[in-house]
Amino acid sequence: MAYDDNNIFARILRGEIPATKVYEDEHVLAINDINPQAPTHILVMPKGKYVSIDDFSTNATDAEIAALIRATGKIARNVGVADKGYRLLFNHGPHSHQEVPHLHVHILGGRPLGPLVLRKE
Ligand code: AMP
């Protein structure tokens, strides 16, 4: 799948639409999810143009990959969910219900999160 320059996170990264910034560094931007599914719901994304974890894990540089993972752990600690725990979620492709085709990892926390996936289908 080709990268769509007009996806919503590309537009946020270009500053064309607003978002609540939680963290930023050379390679990474993190924002609050607009429709939070838990008291803490943060989206951590690379600044580079990657459609999903499939694309990112294949084509990103080691520096970009390290930056995303290090930032994710740092953000979780900074917002106070590291002690009690949190869930990380990458969606890739239609079976996962990925909505935005720019790689992001969800940090979910702040309450017990229940079972990992909906047991359905
Ligand atoms: P996914 O299904 O993994 O692609 O997740 C996309 C996430 O982006 C959803 O949790 C949405 O609530 C969130 N989202 C969509 N638009 C925005 C936006 N403008 N600002 C912040 N989060 C957004």
Give per-residue pLDDT as tens, 37-60.
Answer: 999 999 999 999 999 999 999 999
Domain boundaries along the sequence of the chain: 8-109
Residue of 100, 106, 117 to test ligand 1 pocket, by largest number of atoms within 8 Å of CB: 100
Confidence grade of residue 116 (pLDDT, cut at 50, 70, 90): confident
Q: Rounded to whole angstroms, how far apart are CA atoms 60 and 46?
A: 9
User: Against a cut of 0.85, is the pTM above it?
Assistant: yes
Q: Can you give the pLDDT at residue 119? A: 66
Annotated active-site residue 104? The verdict is yes
Region of 93 on the Ramachandran plot (φ > 0 left; ψ -120 to 50 alpha; else beta): left
Question: Does the structure show a pLDDT above 90 at 1?
Answer: no
- Phi, psi (deg, nearest 5) at residue 87: -120, 140
pLDDT tens for each residue of 99-108: 999 999 999 9
User: Is the CATH number of domain 8-109 2.60.120.260?
Assistant: no
- Taking a C-beta distance cutoff of 8 angstroms, is the pair 41, 86 a contact? no
Structure tokens at 47: 């600044």
The residues, ordered by sequence, that sit 6+ positions from 68 with a Cβ below 8 Å of its Cβ are: 27, 28, 44, 45, 46, 56, 60, 105
Question: Does the structure show a pLDDT above 90 at 75?
Answer: yes
The residues, ordered by sequence, that sit 6+ positions from 118 with a Cβ below 8 Å of its Cβ are: none
Q: Where does ligand 1 bind, in terms of residues with CB under 6 Å?
A: 8, 19, 31, 33-35, 43, 91, 97-100
